[in-house]
Structure 1
Amino acid sequence: MKLSEGVEWALHSCLNLAWLPPGRAVSATRLAAFYELPAAYLNKQLQALVRAGLLASTSGPRGGFRLARAPEEITLLDVVTAIEGPEEAFRCEQILRQGPGGSPDVDYRQACLISQAMRRADLAWRRELAGQTLAELKAAVERRYPDTPGNTRGRFAEMFS
């Protein structure tokens, strides 16, 4: 399975927004400049997060993006689903219908052992992502790299001056 780079960008953007004072909005241009990303493409990812209710956006000179929910209420799966969509990674096309002994009356998505194995793997992956919140990720980064929150706030402060 390969996720788009937009997932990485969205996760890092959400994490950076979690370190800012509550209600502080950051423009897509400033968020993109933080990692030297293309602003237009990052903006598309941020808009997807807004549509999913994970970010809120405000317009105007002090506008931008901010978390719409507390970090404890945002899972990694929420972000991945907002960017990639809710579809399963493996899509059974039921090719067994065309194979020897295949039957048009059988739902091979349910009967095929390959389909079942792939569905179990997808569910395990989704459970893992759903079980980890942005707050937990934020806390883990703060333990391992204690300077990161201050450096992030400082970098955005420089951009705002």
Structure 2
Amino acid sequence: MNRGVEWSVHVLLSLAWLEDDRPVPTAELASSFELPVAYLNKQLQALVRAGLLRSVPGAHGGFLLAKRPEDITLMDVVAAIEGRETAFQCTEIRRQGMGQDAPRSAFRRKCAIDAAMQQAEAQWRRALAAQTIADIRAEVDGYAPSAARLARKAYGRA
């Protein structure tokens, strides 16, 4: 998984702490995490295309949450940044090399490795779909109550 997923979740969490509808410019979001502006902007645009963020153009533009934090799952973020492709792609390597001369009947069943990987990924996707930005916000608020204040201060909302 690329860093864009982590960066995106942090940005969404920070925006969830803001208490107004003023957009936050890309440069401010990038600066608050010391991230490269151009690369972060690509992630933000992917979140806009996925309907998780709203982009506001203009001199006072930037980004806002497009949905309530309760309605944005970690799976939504992963899908927006990484795509919806499955992580494991079986290439039927078992039919090559030592399996090359095996009878067709040896391959009637689905590859056990592919089946195991697909099952694990389905569980992973369900777990991500069960966690929202609001859940993460609540957890962070519990062990680091100053995080929300720091986010509001970083974006001029203090």
If the length of structure 1 is used for normalisation, what is the TM-score? 0.90
Q: 2-side partners of 1:22 and 1:76: how far apart?
A: 23
Cα RMSD after superposing both structures? 2.0
What is the match of residue 28 of structure 1? 26
Listed as ranges, the matches of 1:73-152 within 5 Å are: 73-98=71-96, 99-100=99-100, 101=102, 103=104, 111-152=110-151
More deviation, 16-25/95-104: 95-104
Counterpart code for 1:144 = Y
Residue ranges of structure 2 left out of the alignment (5+ in a row)? none
Percent identity between the aligned chains? 50
Q: 2-side partners of 1:119 and 1:22: how far apart?
A: 42
Q: CA deviation at 1:24?
A: 2.1
- Decide which of 66, 69, 72 is 1:68's aligned counterpart: 66
Counterpart code for 1:20 = L
Q: CA deviation at 1:40?
A: 0.3
- Decide which of 52, 63, 66 is 2:50's aligned counterpart: 52
- Which 4+ stretches in 1 moved above 4 angstroms? none
Q: 2-side partners of 1:57 and 1:32: how far apart?
A: 15
What is the match of residue 9 of structure 1? 7
If the length of structure 2 is used for normalisation, what is the TM-score? 0.91
Q: 2-side partners of 1:22 and 1:38: how far apart?
A: 26
Higher relative contact order (CA 8 A, sep 6+): 2
